[in-house]
Amino acid sequence: MVVPPPRNSSKKRQKIHTWLRKRISPLDFGFKHDGRPIHANANYEVLDKLNGGRGWLARLSNADMDAHFADEHTYYFSGNGSRKSDETLAMIDIDCHRRGTAAGAMAYAEYIRSKPLFRGLYIERSTNGVGIHGYPVIYKGCADDRIVNVALKVLDLYLKGLSYLADCDIELVEVKGLCPETTWGKERGLLKGYKSGTLAKLPREAHHRADELMGTSRVHVSRLRRLGFDLADEAEALGVPAEVVERIRSASEPLQKRTCPEHLERLREAVKGLECWKRGQSTDPTTIPVTLPLAVAGAEGRQVGDGEPSKKARGSTEAPTVSDEIAGLIRTTLLRFAKNWANSGFRSGKGRRVVPMDIATLIAVVAHTKDHPNRDGSTPTVWIMRLWKDLKERGYTDRAWDHHNYKAARDFLSRMGWLVWHDENYVVGQEVNGVFRKGQAAKWEATGYLRSIAEVEEEVGTGEDREEVEREEGHIYGQHLEDPATLGFIQRLRDESGHWKTPQFAGYAGQTTRIAA
């Protein structure tokens, strides 16, 4: 169901700042740091403040928005999942960073706009001038944050499926701007858990194209959850095999009534089946633009004789072990750091959960891979697995290797802006006409800040020295946020970015603006 735009009234036209503010999260926003988006308020900060804790939360001001519109700074938003808001803003990101053309991105954007559901969709060029950003409004009524996020994930899979069906020269398409999710406890007013949303770039041209943005396409959240059927119908009309179409259709059925992760995973696998079929119709190299690298292959050009079983593909890196110095930090410095940012952990799948020890172990591993990179800059999953298992055997971690937990922990570090992605694409090794073609892993590494967390400190002797070390750790772990002299890691990042002033405490000299939550 397409929701018509609101009627014009005799009242003064609202400012674009107000219009945006009603459709984005008031607390979960971000800014660019070291070339990547980072959340302005950490999860633990929001959770503590909403439960009556002390301290201050950053807010996105009109001046910040104006700086973004003027291309002076870059800010990001996440969706508004509050039941008090009827609408939320999302972003369709059509990427052409390493593959694709500007013409292909525009052609795909117009292909989306040709659908009755997205007629009138507001679009603008991305910062690099090649990709396209589209901004639909989702009418959600009383739907909560989780229902909205499931609908947006279905939209993401639908658009990916359309990209496989359409012959447009793009790299990938994804939906951003998911809502932050809150979990309330049994006690009235007690917030048990808080998970930030996914950051999307604010519309850059919103100020001088305000009427176009406010008139963008509006889609009801329940209609988004049925998009799997639309994809199946379009695939069937284009001659996609019946088994692929039926798999998409059957996977879409439960999503109309339930929001279980396994149902969404079924649809994701069905759309991947559509991608595999499309690759079979093309002679282009098999490059899969998703974030999780698979195990890469062995030597290129290896002949496979008739009747000879294929040898198991080996990793492209024979990795040395993580040093005892870095490994020794897992249960101390790195674990404290992980608990500060994800003390309660988070789910990574059915029956699986990432705990702080997983994050601490991964930080130690990526610190080692940053110090000893592959010659081609890639970071194969099999390399990470070997290093992890070695740490387990040596007793530095009690967490066994789990592929799903690794992916979830790595994506968490990436969302926090602590990983640098040089190339998200990877190629799966495969046999072509009896010849084994070598694969290529994705290329990413830890940022300088994440590597500094695993720095081995010199031994401290005197009591005064120990107090100094503890004060320095307080800056990293946020243990002294009450002291105006030491505002913690997030506050220092805000100061360095220059995007807004340091949060002031009540009664602080020179305070002009109060930004308490």
- The predicted structure's pLDDT at residue 191: 82
For the stretch 312-330, pLDDT in tens is 333 344 447 899 889 999 9
CB 325 within 8 A of CB 296: no
* Residue 242 burial class via C-beta count within 10 angstroms: exposed 0-12, middle 13-18, buried 19 and up: exposed
pTM over 0.85: no
In whole angstroms, what is the distance from residue 216 CA to residue 121 CA? 5
In whole angstroms, what is the distance from residue 443 CA to residue 197 CA? 25
Instruction: Region of 77 please: left (phi>0), alpha (psi -120 to 50) or beta.
Output: beta
For the stretch 194-223, pLDDT in tens is 899 999 999 999 999 999 999 999 999 999
Q: Which helix (H) or strand (E) holds 95?
A: strand 91-95
**CA 96 to chain CA centroid, nearest Å:** 18
Among 171-185, 295-309, 327-341, the minimum mean pLDDT is found in: 295-309
Residue located via tokens 């059925």: 253
Residue 485 has pLDDT above 90, yes or no: no
| CA dist 499 → 19, 63, 198 (Å) | 22, 10, 20
Neighbours of 411 (CB within 10 A): 15
Domains, the chain, with CATH or none? 16-225 (3.90.920), 226-281 (no CATH), 324-453 (1.10.10), 464-517 (no CATH)
Residues 6+ apart with CB under 8 A from 238: 165
In whole angstroms, what is the distance from residue 440 CA to residue 374 CA? 12
Residues 6+ apart with CB under 8 A from 124: 132, 133, 203, 204, 205, 209
* DSSP designation for 332: I
| DSSP alpha helix (H) spans, 317-402 | 324-327, 335-342, 356-371, 381-393
Residues 6+ apart with CB under 8 A from 402: 348, 352
Residue 231 has pLDDT above 90, yes or no: yes
